[in-house]
Amino acid sequence: MKRLLAAWVGVLVFTSPVLGEEASSIDLDPSVLQTSPVLQRWLKDVPNVADDIQNDPSFRTRLRLGYLRFSPDANPGLAVGIEDLRIGQTRLTLSGNYQTTFKGQSAIDTHLTYYLRPLGSYVNVAPMVGYRHLETDRYSTSGATLGVRVLFVLSRGGGADVALSQSWVAPGSDSEIGLSRLSFGYAVTHHLRLSTDFQRQNSRQGRDDRIGIGLEWLP
């Protein structure tokens, strides 16, 4: 309760042109100040709250471990990866994933994603560029990856989001593959999320679908 009261006092005092000038003369319980990072920060420097909300990422880095099922043969498999590792204070993130079945099918993917809108946005669009290697029973291919990702944030801070992406492996070549992906994540604790993932690969040799469910750890 004291922290909530201190936060409201900070908002009222430091966002008011009149009260802000008299902030130093307000008599607050020392214990309230000691337990309130908000007041401690605002006494040093009044932040731009609107700018913080807009640019503080609405999503978080995720470490993923999941179970996959590859069709048309319904082969079970595993997936591990990292998603949206932010590079510095930029809008650029790095992701990498490894998928494998117990029958030898595999996929290795790494890509950079650049979000075009501020990271605090509830809807964002991002071009992707990277590299992907695929091994299936019928074909294999490797090459550069180009694509685009659309992110819908349902709850900030990694609480819940939906992502849709479309990419092409080795675009323009005889072994070009189109990859569509739809994923959904929902946090069950501050550091743990459940995720579902659907992928479809289209190539000249045919179509492959992958459905997965997993756990994501948010550092």
Check whether residue 151 and residue 188 sit in a common domain: yes
- How many angstroms separate the first and last alpha carbons of the chain? 27
pLDDT classification of 64: cutoffs 50, 70, 90: very high
Determine the pLDDT at residue 167: 96
Which residue(s) pair with 124 in the sheet? 151
Check whether residue 142 and residue 88 sit in a common domain: yes
Check whether residue 137 and residue 203 sit in a common domain: yes
Name the residue with higher pLDDT: 79 or 139: 79
Q: Is the dihedral of CA 155, 113, 192, 52 positive or negative?
A: negative
For the cut 80, the answer to whether the pLDDT of residue 135 exceeds it is yes
Check whether residue 109 and residue 35 sit in a common domain: no
| CATH number of 155's domain | 2.40.160.40
Check whether residue 67 and residue 41 sit in a common domain: no
Check whether residue 163 and residue 191 sit in a common domain: yes
In a domain, 73, yes or no: yes
Number of domains in the chain: 2
Q: Counting beta carbons within 10 angstroms of the beta carbon of residue 59, is it exposed (0 to 12), middle (13 to 18) or buried (19 or more)?
A: buried
Note whether 82 and 95 are within 8 A (CB). yes
Check whether residue 127 and residue 157 sit in a common domain: yes
In a domain, 89, yes or no: yes
Check whether residue 39 and residue 123 sit in a common domain: no
Check whether residue 74 and residue 177 sit in a common domain: yes
Tens digits of residue pLDDT in 1-34: 444 444 444 444 444 444 444 444 456 666 766 7
* DSSP 8-state code for residue 59: S
Check whether residue 40 and residue 98 sit in a common domain: no
Tokens of 20: 């802000």
Domain range for 26 is 2-47
